[in-house]
Amino acid sequence: MFKPHVTVACVVHAAGKFLIVEETINHKALWNQPAGHLEADETLIQAAERELWEETGIRATPQAFLRMHQWLAPDGTPFLRFSFVIELETPLPTEPHDRDIDRCLWLSAEQIFAANNLRSPLVAESIRCYQQPERYPLSLVASFNWPF
């Protein structure tokens, strides 16, 4: 049976900047959206909120569903990545609670596109998707008969 990893990501935007988290993997500083794995006892929305708080210290609820990408990592690991939009009025201060996050950065789309240290190509692709007008209601990924 095929069992891809299910992850969530938050495309956080404020005043023309996007929130990026930096983490060191194999001695290299890599950039990503606030993102992580779906846990067994949470909905996709709850996972997005939790990952945002753990990695940035910001508490916010996604306003829209952006895209679901089916992706194979370079090592062949399959992923389903659910991306959500969070719009803030201004860039907020950050305080990561996840020890794997070194720092958070507010960057322009151009800075992200030009970077050679993205954790995956989905980081830039999520920003490109954000730049398109399509947004979807959160009900598109709603839970059903959820017991938790």
Model pTM greater than 0.75? Answer: yes
Per-residue confidence (pLDDT) for residue 146, from 0 to 100? 83
Per-residue confidence (pLDDT) for residue 8, from 0 to 100? 98
Q: Tell me how far apart the terminal alpha carbons of the chain are, to the nearest angstrom.
A: 26
Nearest to 131 by CA among 34, 62, 66, 81: 66
CATH number at residue 129: 3.90.79.10
100 lies in some domain: yes
SS3 98: coil
* 118: containing domain: 5-138
Number of domains the chain is built from: 1
Residues facing residue 85 across a β-bridge:
11, 64
143 lies in some domain: no
85 lies in some domain: yes
146 lies in some domain: no
SS3 74: coil
Enumerate residues 6+ apart whose C-beta is below 8 A from 85. 10, 11, 13, 62, 63, 64, 65, 66, 130, 135
Handedness of CA 26, 7, 68, 19 (dihedral sign): negative
148 lies in some domain: no
Per-residue confidence (pLDDT) for residue 145, from 0 to 100? 86
124 with 33: CB under 8 angstroms?
A: no
44 lies in some domain: yes
Residues facing residue 24 across a β-bridge:
29
What tens-digit pLDDT sequence spans the chain (148 residues)? 989 999 999 999 999 999 999 999 999 999 999 999 999 999 999 999 999 999 999 999 999 999 999 999 999 999 999 999 999 999 999 999 999 999 999 999 999 999 999 999 999 999 999 999 999 999 999 988 888 7
SS3 56: helix
144 lies in some domain: no
147 lies in some domain: no
SS3 29: strand
Give the phi and the psi of residue 134 in degrees, each rounded to 5: -70, 125
